[in-house]
Structure 1
Amino acid sequence: MHSSVATLSPNTTQTAEETIQVAEKLRDMALVPSPTVNDGPLFAEVDMGADASAPTTRATVVQAATVFYDTPATLDKAERLLAEAASYGSQLVVFPEAFIGGYPRGSTFGVAIGNRSAKGREEFRKYHASAIDVPGPEVDRLAAMAGKYKVYLVMGVIERDGYTLYCTVLFFDSQGRFLGKHRKIMPTALERVIWGFGDGSTIPVFETPVGKIGAAICWENRMPLLRTAMFGFPGVEIYCAPTADARDVWQASMTHIAVEGGCFVLSANQFCRRKDYPPPPDYVFTGTEEDLLPDSIVCAGGSVIISPLGTVLAGPNYEGEALISADLDLGEVARAKFDFGPVNLQIINCKHFDLNMGSGSFICILDSTQHVQSHLLYCLNKLSFMTFSS
């Protein structure tokens, strides 16, 4: 195994195409210097040396800040980052939660029980305007990027569906096709004021040449049955976890999920400073004794890649905007499943599985010829469990 860190030279005027031309000269190196996308240095970490006898996927998680309230500029930044990752051979690139549209950290949107402020309504209007329609022109551009740079792309966005917003992950293949989406099922705390609730109809696992890819967003990774749905047939191999959580305990969650599921975990978070958000009084970080200084860190990143056996392959990075990469030996999935698998597919020999929950029961109907043909739908408000056919 080989791990390295490189500081990438600042050059904000270079185009994505010029980035690739420079990087092609260094393609055989694990680390490729290329321009930063913001004021600070950009670090890249690469972990190399996979087993040549098994399929290997080079993956990158992006740790970078949104250009808040400016979706076209954020898309431009995403393309520069994508070009940079592709220039040294990444086949799969994962962006943070809400990268397109922005994560409104520190904002209350003027909400109190029984009261909403005019300033909060205007803040929501601007946030709604920054979101994207799915499908829509921004989705088309993201698809074109994936095809242009020949990568599988997992992108966190704020999806606009009429006047309801969803925290969503979009999936694209290396041919430039939009594969599908996952809507965050359970927004956390005050997120529920601005984001709608997803449901079990968007818990996809995509079988691709670079592995079986799925995603769960931020704290919905705490939902055991959502994870179980992803671990079941066809069985996620590359578990993407876009997040906004930079706390140390997040690393423990990511390691647990990797070991529990026998899968690679790729967690991408933003690294943000106060200056990455609009200045006060247009945008105020509620809960701070006084407004933060422009260079104050408001989200410290912590993006990480973890193996199915719980080994940290790259990261966590708390230093700044970064491209954090590793070669994923997909043979590690089978090695981990030899020890333990959370979904025992031997139950496919049964037609009916009944789990008594005390106050109710969970009933799953299985088709033994098609393995497990049901998904789990976690109805959080009623704490009841349902199934539906895929």
Structure 2
Amino acid sequence: MAKNVRVAAVQAEPVWLDIDGTTKKTIDLISEAATGGADLVAFPETWIPGYPVFLWSYPVYQQMEFVARYHANSVTIDGEAMTRIREAARENSITVVLGFSEKEAGSLYMSQAIIGPDGEILLHRRKLKPTHAERTLFGESDGSGIKVIDTPLGRLGALNCFEHIQPLTKYAMYSQNEQIHVAGWPCLGILGNVPALSPETLMAATQTYALEGGAFVVTATQIMSDEGARVFPDAQGGPTPVYTGGGGFARIYGPDSRLLTEPLDPSQEGLVYADLDLSLIDLAKNSVDPSGHYARPDVTRLVFDNRPKTPVLTPGELSGELFAPLPESLPEAPRTPVA
């Protein structure tokens, strides 16, 4: 495992509703990050084909045109777009954490893939529960995607957007000794003055993840330009009705919650870089390790079912651990005798 790791976070605009254009831009950014010396490059939530801002901007009956285009430009895990991106990771010898809308049959999922420097997919996960209006377009996942993996760079994991305010999901990640975390976000703050969706609130949640988890957090975000907003026009052909511009807040936080990068302007495309010294995690966790020495399992514990779930079971899958029930009650935690 590498002790020092150079990482890059993407702050850029996708080619909205265009799988081919955004795939090309992805490959260019992978090459740029590698040229900048990065061992890892992180992309935003649903980077391909861009976050579906139309879900929040239009009544349902006006969304159908965009829904059809969104399906047509979403990524299949074994399709041409993913193959090209995997080849770019291999050619540049860089780990890529990609956010994308994944199409499987007639359903879409808000997915992330960790692609190793040899081009192999090390982790393929889906957002556990899409947020609010997202549930009209995307399906849910299961606990198998709440996972931290071993890589030559360290123990690596990823979550999307409002998964960073789900306390139990975060705790399941912390318990797996995550060292480098990728936080994928869409454009922040472009949907008007909603406090829960403000950049300040969402960056505070991301920074809190670094502090609680004792991990480095690589935050990637999209931006939306005036031209991009006109892909989703209002009745007069102007930008999407609630568009406020910008939205880029790429950041990298240390395990003590310190900001390690100089922010770009919210409307500026680019990469932010940081060199991570993984030994600093031990110092951070020496003070606070919520799933380790700072835990109180005799008071509160998390029940975490990380088994994959499918809507159809074949006869060979009807036995064994896949169908094993969870216990109705939990055993008592051992207690230290009182002297």
TM range (shorter): 0.7 to 0.9
* Pair 1:331–1:206, CA change in 2 (3 A): same
TM-score of the superposed pair, with normalisation by structure 2? 0.80
Distance in 2 (CA, whole Å) between partners of 1:64 and 1:219 is: 20
Q: Percent identity?
A: 29
Counterpart secondary structure, 2:71: helix
Partner of 2:316: none
Aligned pair partner of 1:301 in 242, 245, 248: 248
Distance in 1 (CA, whole Å) between partners of 2:302 and 2:153 is: 34
TM-score of the superposed pair, with normalisation by structure 1? 0.70
1:236 corresponds to 2:185: no
Partner of 2:72: 129
Partner of 1:272: 224
Assess if the C-alpha contact under 8 Å between 2:246 and 2:267 holds in 1.
no
Counterpart secondary structure, 1:239: strand
Assess if the C-alpha contact under 8 Å between 2:55 and 2:134 holds in 1.
no
Q: Which amino acid aligns with 2:219?
A: S
Partner of 1:250: 202
Deviation at 1:342, TM superposition (A): 1.3
Assess if the C-alpha contact under 8 Å between 2:159 and 2:183 holds in 1.
yes
In structure 2, runs of 5+ residues without a counterpart are 190-198, 308-324, 328-339
Partner of 1:179: 122
Which string of whole-angstrom CA distances, capped at 9 and with x for unpartnered residues, describes residues 53-75 of structure 1?
Answer: x8100000010111012111111
Equivalent pairs, count? 296
Q: Which amino acid aligns with 1:207?
A: D
Deviation at 1:175, TM superposition (A): 0.9
Partner of 1:335: 283
Partner of 1:201: 144
1:91 corresponds to 2:6: no
Deviation at 1:142, TM superposition (A): 1.4
Deviation at 1:345, TM superposition (A): 6.7
Partner of 1:191: 134
Q: Which amino acid aligns with 1:236?
A: E
Partner of 1:383: none
Larger displacement relative to structure 2 (66-75 or 103-112) = 103-112
In structure 1, runs of 5+ residues without a counterpart are 1-53, 357-361, 365-373, 378-385
Structure with bigger strand share is 1
Q: Which amino acid aligns with 1:301?
A: G
Deviation at 1:108, TM superposition (A): 5.0
Distance in 2 (CA, whole Å) between partners of 1:323 and 1:136 is: 27
Distance in 1 (CA, whole Å) between partners of 2:75 and 2:237 is: 33
Q: Which amino acid aligns with 1:128?
A: H
Aligned pair partner of 1:120 in 63, 68, 73: 63
Q: Which amino acid aligns with 2:121?
A: F
Assess if the C-alpha contact under 8 Å between 2:15 and 2:21 holds in 1.
yes
Counterpart secondary structure, 1:195: coil
Distance in 1 (CA, whole Å) between partners of 2:43 and 2:294 is: 36
Partner of 2:23: 75
* Pair 1:104–1:256, CA change in 2 (3 A): same
Assess if the C-alpha contact under 8 Å between 1:272 and 1:297 holds in 2.
no
Distance in 1 (CA, whole Å) between partners of 2:212 and 2:51 is: 28
* Pair 1:205–1:387, CA change in 2 (3 A): farther
Distance in 2 (CA, whole Å) between partners of 1:325 and 1:266 is: 9
